[in-house]
Structure 1
Amino acid sequence: MIYLDNSATTKPYKEVLNTFIQVNESFYANPASIHEAGVESNTLLDRARAQMAKILGTDDRQVLFTAGGTESNNFAIFGIAKANTHKGKHIITTEIEHASVLESIRVLQADGYEIDYLSVDSNGVISLQELQEKLRKDTVLVSIMHVNNEMGAIQPIEEAAKIIHESSRATFHVDAVQSFGKMPIYFKDDAGPDIISISGHKIHGLKGSGVIAFRKKMNIAPLLLGGGQEYGLRSGTVAVPQAVALAKAARMAVEDLEQSMKKYRKWHNELMEFLTSFGSVIHILSTPNGAAHILSFSVKDLKGEILINALQKRGIIVSTSSACSSKQKKTSHVVLALKTPPNFVNGVIRLSFGGLTTDEDIQQFKKAFTEVMKELKGE
């Protein structure tokens, strides 16, 4: 099987799995317990937290472990909104956010918050001028994803951060689920986000692991109430094995980042040229300047499921634009926001690379896709 659906999830590295097993076997005590075994577990947890903080460029106490990207996004949005109503009830986001952001914001809208959505151009990128114009004195939160999960558009995060911090009191949240470990994302004084969401299973870590990290101490409402774990912001016994495994995956991703980015860009460029050779029957949603590890395209008048099944018969695993919503029968909100031509909206396919992708995988995809296109033409 050739797996090209790494933006949906990745296969855990063996080293990460081994770390997870070892911690479960030897450090299974509750890290909140005061006995020796608990202290040992807590020491390991602190070490994982410090490693994540160092990678992101923040303080240890500004890193909280969660169950994944969706929880981290929910935590950031609800937590900031509810704790800062004295500043206002105006929120800015974009038309192409992940559902975990958009659905959270819709709940707040029903609760009286006013929402402004930033549009995107044909490349999937927001207008910084529009962002500037929509910022208000009562803007409490701006949430903008770094890399779009469906077609790989990269948002100008640093420029947006500067505008937000200079022109408002709003907190700037960045969904970095599709960028962390694939391209640089970290805190840089005011020229960066205030909050970052990360998911472990996107970087060859484990499902059910994630991080929400802060640039500095923030006024944020707790996500879960109970025993006061994670500095009182996320109660419940901390999953030490997941946290340590995530830190391991993050270290491996960062260590290999430069080499991985070069490989992804090479494959991205090669496949862009390959797909372009098919002419007007192919519409490419991704752009040369987008994230190198994501490439989305569509075949004219063809449902994506047909192409996915045809490739699967040849041992190639790809997905429609978003695995999180691919089983739904409605057109993706991202595809609509990009003003994709009507003949192409139902056939969007996403290829996404990971740390285990090889040159041979790319060549096999090209061979299989060529065969499928000939088959569909009846040749």
Structure 2
Amino acid sequence: MNEIYLDNAATTRVHPQVAQKMMDTLVNNYGNPSSLHRLGIRSEQAIKEVRGLIAKNLNCQTQEIYFTSGGTEGNNMIIQGVVENKKRERMRIITSAIEHPSVLDVFTFYQNHQIEVVVLGVDAQGHIDLTELQAAMNEDTILVSIMGVNNELGTIQDLKAIGKIVKAVNAKCVFHADFVQGFMKIPIDVQASMLDALTLSGHKIFGPKGVGAVYLKKGTDIKPLLRGGGQENNLRSGTENVPGIVGFGEAVRLRSDSFMDEFEAIRNLRTVFINELETKIEDIKINGDPNGSPYVLNVSFNRVRGEVLLHSLESKGIFVSTGSACSSHKKEKQYVLKAIGLAEEYKEGTIRISFSKDITNDDVKTAVAAIAQAVSSLRLLIKPNKNR
């Protein structure tokens, strides 16, 4: 059975060259980066090279990149770091209703601890209202955290427009974006967007799990989550994950010259997928912005349960998801669909299909045919009995 992996927003298959680079580092470049001898210096140099490569792709300085264990730590590091550093009597922090749980849960925590939290609503495509943002901003606002690319819908927020509003109202307010689903897929310029902080992750771009990075603009003060050895310029203590960082860097290097061409190829693939779905299956809804990230396709089928559809496709070697992998164990799984106002009859039948460079047109045709067959069979099972 051929495998068709369409859950790339959850994680990607590690690129063979990334795995090879990591293995070489594990075996041959095993020194502790904090050690003063040449093995330590060699490891430190390897980290420095990756730091520079990431900085180049963000248009920032090398020393503004800090390595983490991934997106969740990065988001917590920035949000908690800003709030704990600026704690005062009157504080306001702003986010949107469709953020990743590693953002929303931290905001909820602070809301429960007497900090004013504003959660911006979104329209049917998942965009925040810039007028609402401007109205919510004031001199007490210390942080605005808005996801660059939504992990369930693929909706792309206008970070440049958001940055202008934030800084026009309060230049001291920290502007942060979770860009885990956008990095090395969609161009980003942190200076043009007036961003103070950005969260990145390795395993969404064919790199390893357990490694990520944050951009933190020089002069932006945060209180560190972890204290100890003083690594990462005292912001993230603990021995650096050298093989992971090197693997992350190799994944970035492999995409640096190709991701813009890939973007158009994936957009065409997504368009074919949608057209095939709409031709073969009735009563479906495509969610999100048609001009959003082509890597993510969120689709709802009436009279079908998404989880049952997922397992039906899995039995045929086709792998999709019913939403964010990081939300799969939470009670409120469908908060993003609720935020965009999706009708109740479609919520339960929603799946997320996420593409990569490995998906072909033949894969698309095979996957759509399997989805159409599964949806038809599942709808027959719940079809009302007219003889009753």
TM-score, with length taken from structure 1: 0.96
Q: Residues 364 and 219 from structure 1, CA distance in 2 versus in 1: closer, same or farther, beyond 3 angstroms? A: same
> What whole-Å deviation, never above 9, does each CA across 1:258-289 have from its counterpart, x for those lacking one?
12101111012112222233565212113311
CA contact (8 A) 1:4 1:352 kept: yes
Q: Aligned partners of 2:23 and 2:260: how far apart in 1?
A: 29
Q: Aligned partners of 1:86 and 1:194: how far apart in 2?
A: 20
Which of 1, 12, 15 lines up with 2:14 in the alignment? 12
Determine the structure 1 residue equivalent to 2:370: 368
Query: How far is 1:360 from its partner?
Result: 2.2
1:187 matched to 2:190? The reply is yes
> What whole-Å deviation, never above 9, does each CA across 1:11-44 have from its counterpart, x for those lacking one?
0000111111111111111100111211111111
Determine the structure 1 residue equivalent to 2:244: 242
> What whole-Å deviation, never above 9, does each CA across 1:208-264 have from its counterpart, x for those lacking one?
000011233311111210010000000011111111111111122232211210111
Q: Aligned partners of 2:15 and 2:281: how far apart in 1?
A: 38
Q: Aligned partners of 1:138 and 1:328: how far apart in 2?
A: 32
Identity of aligned residues (%): 37
Any residues of structure 2 matched to 1:184-333 within 5 Å, and which? 184-189=187-192, 191-278=193-280, 280-328=282-330, 330-333=332-335
Q: Residues 36 and 87 from structure 1, CA distance in 2 versus in 1: closer, same or farther, beyond 3 angstroms? A: farther
TM-score, with length taken from structure 2: 0.94
SS in 2 for 1:205: coil
SS in 2 for 1:291: coil
- For 1:90, give the aligned amino acid: R
Query: How far is 1:53 from its partner?
Result: 1.2
SS in 1 for 2:105: helix
SS in 2 for 1:277: helix
Which of 26, 30, 49 lines up with 2:32 in the alignment? 30
SS in 2 for 1:296: strand
Query: How far is 1:378 from its partner?
Result: 4.4
Give unmatched runs, 5+ long, in structure 2: 382-388
- For 1:126, give the aligned amino acid: I
Determine the structure 1 residue equivalent to 2:385: none
Q: Aligned partners of 1:86 and 1:328: how far apart in 2?
A: 32
> What whole-Å deviation, never above 9, does each CA across 1:46-85 have from its counterpart, x for those lacking one?
1111111111111111100000000000001001111123
Larger mean Cα displacement after TM superposition, 268-277 or 150-159: 268-277
Determine the structure 2 residue equivalent to 1:174: 177
Larger mean Cα displacement after TM superposition, 369-378 or 19-28: 369-378
CA contact (8 A) 1:68 1:198 kept: yes
Query: How far is 1:86 from its partner?
Result: 5.1
CA contact (8 A) 1:176 1:185 kept: no
- For 2:180, give the aligned amino acid: V
Query: How far is 1:188 from its partner?
Result: 2.2
Q: Aligned partners of 2:91 and 2:25: how far apart in 1?
A: 43
Determine the structure 2 residue equivalent to 1:133: 135
RMSD: 1.6
CA contact (8 A) 2:98 2:339 kept: yes
> What whole-Å deviation, never above 9, does each CA across 1:328-364 have from its counterpart, x for those lacking one?
4544110100111110111110000123222222121
SS in 2 for 1:196: strand
Larger mean Cα displacement after TM superposition, 276-285 or 251-260: 276-285
1:346 matched to 2:357? The reply is no
Query: How far is 1:108 from its partner?
Result: 1.7
Determine the structure 2 residue equivalent to 1:118: 120
Give unmatched runs, 5+ long, in structure 1: none
Q: Residues 136 and 360 from structure 1, CA distance in 2 versus in 1: closer, same or farther, beyond 3 angstroms? A: same
Aligned residues: 378
